[in-house]
Structure 1
Amino acid sequence: MFKSPNPAVDVAALPADAYLIDVREDDEWQAGHAPDAVHLPLSELVVRMEEVPADRDVYVICKVGGRSEQAVRYLNQAGRTTVNVLGGMLAWQAAGKPMVSESGGQPFVA
C-alpha cells in the first residue's frame, strides 16, 4: 500500500479549532462543505497561496484525499505547515460531521 510522505490526519482526529482549507471546485463546495472551512480551489492555489496562514497548522481537505495531498505537498514545499485530511469530505460526511451548503438546501458531497 502507498504511504504518503506528507503529514495526514483522520477526520476523527482533526482538532476542533483546525484551520481547514477545502480545495474542491466551486460546484463541489456549493453542494456541501464543513461550516468553518475556507474555500481555496486547487486550481487557484498557486495564485492565492498568500491566503494560506504561515503562522499555524493548516488542514487541507478535498472529496477523497488526492487533491488535498497535492496541495499539502505544494504548500509544505513552499514553507507552510499543512496536513492532509484522509478520506476527504466523504470521510467527513461518513463520520457525521456538520455540513452546510451554499444554496441552503440539504448539503451533500459532490
Structure 2
Amino acid sequence: MSVPTLKVELACGSCQVRPNVPALIQEGYNTAAASAGAKVVSSSEAVLTIKEYSERGDAARFFVGAFAGKDEIKATVVAKDKQFSLEDYYRNAWQGIESLAQKIGAATFEQLQ
C-alpha cells in the first residue's frame, strides 16, 4: 500500500501557528503510515490546509488545565481522489498543541489509506 506525501499549508487568516506544528503534522502522518506498513510516495501529494487554529500557552495549560481553553486545529485535506475535513482539540493539562498536531497527522493518514 502507498499513500501520497503530505504537504501542510496555512490559511487561517491572522492566526499564529507555532512554527513546528506543520512538521509535527507531517511526522504524525509519516509515523502512522510506517506503523501500518504503508509507503509514502513523492509521486503524489495530499495537501492539508489549516483553516482554524488556537493554542493555550504551556504555563496556562499546566496551571489551570481545561479552564485555560483548548488547543484546536481545523483543517481540510485534498488528495487526488479525496477531499475531507478534520478537526480535533485537547482541553486537558497533559496534552498540548504538539500532541494534537501529531494526532491530526495520524488522522489524515487514516482517511487517506
Fold-level similarity (TM above 0.5): no
Using structure 2 for the length normalisation, give the TM-score: 0.22
More strand by share: 2
More helix by share: 2
Q: Which of these two proteins has the greater Rg computed from alpha carbons? A: 2
